[in-house]
Chain A
Amino acid sequence: MPIKRVKPGDFTRTPIEKAPDPQLGHAIIAKERYTSPDFMKLEWERMWKRSWLMGCREDDIPEPGDYVCTEIGREAILIVRQADMSIRAFYNVCQHRGNRLVPPGIGKLKSFKCAYHHWEYGLDGDFVRIPDKETFPQGTPCQGLPEVPCDTWGSFVWYNLNKDAEPLREFLGVIPEHLDPYHFDRMAMTRDWTIEWDCNWKASVDAFNESYHVQGIHPQLLYYLDDLDIQIDCYDRHSRYLVPFATTSPRVKETSDIPPLIRLIMKQAGMDPADFDGKTREVRLAVQKWKRENGASQGYDYSDLNDDQLTDDYHYLIFPNITLNVHADDLMLFRQRPHPTDPNKMYYDLQNFRLLKQGEEKPERPEHRFYRHGEKSLGQVLDQDAYNLPGVQLGMQSEGFPGLWLGDQELRIRHFHKVIDDYVYGVGEAP
């Protein structure tokens, strides 16, 4: 029995139409892009330096002087709340002899003073003080901290290393229209971890862009979601898939008892599985109905979301490196960052958010934690993903492996690499 979905004419703000599948052929995706330092350099110069990148949350820096220092590749960028409450972004590097001004992380300062010779910069990046200024007969450098374009969307702050970048909204394309109905600004962060993973950053993006591996490494999720009846949509550079949750996969027999993970979804919605007389495959619609009817009295405003969004996973890739599991009540955000020098390593930023009740005070932001691969459990599902990736990265380096042999369920991966190729080699110029 196919999944019942929101259809044209039903209430929705997030567009639900299936985008036409791009015709991208069936060629092998060369594996060198995961392992080669040369490709890594090209990718840096032509893709990372020309893409809008997620820097932090707006509420990470609520007051003037609050800043986030975020790293991408070999660069570190300072995102600073200004006196007038605007947000600006600068390279985190002293213009004297190149020292980094502040370590990565969140902080609050009145000015940025370099620890080496105490050159001091204001929140706006301008020089405040240079000790023994008269000993520089050539004067001071004409600018303070070099600034990069910076803008906000969806409660997040974005920056671009290309000072001639297109506007953020143009780069984001369909994304705001699709995701604004979730009101990320009403969500609070509950986890902020970075894990150094032993794989290329694209291997991680790939792992979250297909549901084909659910039957492989997440068999327990076959009793939680429908991995086959999904809608894949590829846009200009971004993509998504819509995965029905709170149901079972057609790969397994429907169970007479409601599976434990689906019970959990019911309980999180405030339903009591012990009081439910329907069948397992009826739970999804029952939860949608329940949330629609009881959300407001529980303090949750779902009025901008369609029925499917009350249960399902709307999973987006915001090119190049943000993968989002978007749900009515929570957001699981992965930011995959390249290692500065080693194509075989990456930084996996794992942030969770939960929808606050109306009027609920924002809880304190969790502190950022850093772990090495395998050092700390991320929860069963992500552990399964994480456990698998170093093996993928090692296999990529084998003489016996020519490249990725992708199927239809992996269309988003093919699309993702096509967009990278467009940046790296020029549109339609891939070798």
Chain B
Amino acid sequence: MDLGLKGKKAVVTGATKGIGRRIVETLADEGVDIAICSRTAEEVEETLAVLRAKGINAVGEAVNVRDGEAYKAWISRAGEQLGGIDILIPNVSGGAGMDSEKNWQRNFEVDVMGSVRAVETAVPFLKKSGEGSVVFIVSTNAIETFAAPMAYNALKASLITYSKQLGQFHGKRRIRFNALSPGTIFVEGGAWDMIKTSQPDFYNATIAAHPFGRMGSAEEVAKAVAFLASPAASWINGTHLIVDGGYTKGVHF
């Protein structure tokens, strides 16, 4: 099956590490031109070099997502530099934390507004595409209680609702909107990498609770994202895809 991704143009936020990094590499392997952002210029440059080596056009900048105007300006610039946007993947996150009320503000600004602003800025480009596709990267923390009550979990959940509504609203512009929730994904330098070292008992218990006896990889998420973003998923709109190896227990009718 050909995903039909070759020659498409994707904007992916927060793409220099972890799942985001794997997503852009997977898309680049499929021949997609890529625009990325991250907090630090060196990381952006390093990632761009890897992407360009795959023979695609890759652009990117260091952007603070919490700076709304600068962030929107970058999305526009990325669309212009790429010569269009077919795929938008708001992936950047403020991360989990229970430090203070500011966690709510942070996750609101980065996870929620980082997605909202990206969509609003990218829609003019996406509607020109004719095969526009947006994939919100959510989290299984949004659908099942895990660890502790956190702004991260609750605000990630809001993206599922938002995505569904956008899918209805922008259907006539032929833009599909879907949400995708990775489960426990092991990436180097990620939360589970730290937990593996610092709380080995908890780590092992979590592994044991997985039907396949392991955690997922960023690559397994990236492949699902690539499919959902691609024209091969042309009839999938407004859904929420859980990519967790069957770890969560809830049944979704």
* Minimum distance in angstroms from B34 CB to a CB of chain A: 20
A220 contacts chain B at the CB level, 8 A cutoff: yes
Q: List the A side residues contacting B66 at CB < 8 Å.
A: 277
Query: CA separation between A279 and B42, bound complex, in Å?
Result: 13
* Minimum distance in angstroms from B6 CB to a CB of chain A: 31
Please tell me if the beta carbons of A274 and B197 are within 8 angstroms of each other in the complex: no
Main SS class of interface, B: loop
Q: List the A side residues contacting B217 at CB < 8 Å.
A: none
A223, A256, A275: the one contacting B95 at CB < 8 Å is A256
Query: CA separation between A222 and B197, bound complex, in Å?
Result: 8
Please tell me if the beta carbons of B18 and A256 are within 8 angstroms of each other in the complex: yes
Please tell me if the beta carbons of A223 and B198 are within 8 angstroms of each other in the complex: yes
Interface flags, A276-289, vs B, CB<8A=1, else 0: 01010000000000
Please tell me if the beta carbons of B97 and A257 are within 8 angstroms of each other in the complex: yes
B95, B99, B193: the one contacting A252 at CB < 8 Å is B193
* Minimum distance in angstroms from A225 CB to a CB of chain B: 12
A220, A254, A273: the one contacting B97 at CB < 8 Å is A273
B204 contacts chain A at the CB level, 8 A cutoff: no
A252, A256, A263: the one contacting B197 at CB < 8 Å is A252
Known: A263-B99, A279-B39. A255 touches B200 (CB 8 A): no
Query: CA separation between A220 and B194, bound complex, in Å?
Result: 8
Query: CA separation between A257 and B18, bound complex, in Å?
Result: 12
Q: List the A side residues contacting B200 at CB < 8 Å.
A: 219
B232 contacts chain A at the CB level, 8 A cutoff: no
B99, B197, B198: the one contacting A272 at CB < 8 Å is B99
Please tell me if the beta carbons of A220 and B190 are within 8 angstroms of each other in the complex: no
Query: CA separation between A267 and B189, bound complex, in Å?
Result: 23
Question: Number of A interface residues, CB 8 Å?
Answer: 20
Query: CA separation between A267 and B97, bound complex, in Å?
Result: 13
B199 contacts chain A at the CB level, 8 A cutoff: yes
Please tell me if the beta carbons of A275 and B39 are within 8 angstroms of each other in the complex: no
A97 contacts chain B at the CB level, 8 A cutoff: no
* Minimum distance in angstroms from A278 CB to a CB of chain B: 8
List B194-246 residues whose CB lies under 8 Å from chain A.
194, 197-200
Q: List the A side residues contacting B102 at CB < 8 Å.
A: 272, 274-275
Please tell me if the beta carbons of A255 and B191 are within 8 angstroms of each other in the complex: yes
B64 contacts chain A at the CB level, 8 A cutoff: yes
Residue of B nearest to A253 (CB): B189
Please tell me if the beta carbons of A274 and B194 are within 8 angstroms of each other in the complex: no
Residue of B nearest to A221 (CB): B198
Please tell me if the beta carbons of B199 and A220 are within 8 angstroms of each other in the complex: yes
Query: CA separation between A25 and B39, bound complex, in Å?
Result: 48
* Minimum distance in angstroms from A248 CB to a CB of chain B: 9
| Max count, chain A CB within 10 A of own CB: residue among B17, B194, B197, B200 | B194
Q: List the A side residues contacting B191 at CB < 8 Å.
A: 255, 257
* 22 A/B residue pairs, CB under 8 Å, sorted by A: A220-B197, A220-B198, A223-B197, A252-B193, A252-B197, A253-B188, A253-B189, A255-B193, A256-B17, A256-B18, A256-B95, A256-B189, A256-B190, A257-B95, A257-B191, A257-B194, A259-B194, A273-B99, A274-B105, A275-B102, A275-B106, A279-B40
Q: Show the binding face of B for A, using Cβ within 8 Å.
A: 17-18, 39-40, 64, 66, 95-97, 99-100, 102-103, 105-106, 188-191, 193-194, 197-200
Since A272-B102, A273-B97 are in contact, a sample of 6 more A-B pairs with Cβ atoms closer than 8 Å, ordered by chain A residue number, is A219-B200, A222-B197, A222-B198, A255-B190, A274-B100, A277-B66
Complex A-B, nearest 6 residue pairs according to Cβ-Cβ distance, in ascending order? A253-B189, A274-B102, A220-B198, A274-B103, A274-B99, A257-B95
Q: Show the binding face of A for B, using Cβ within 8 Å.
A: 219-220, 222-223, 252-259, 263, 267, 272-275, 277, 279
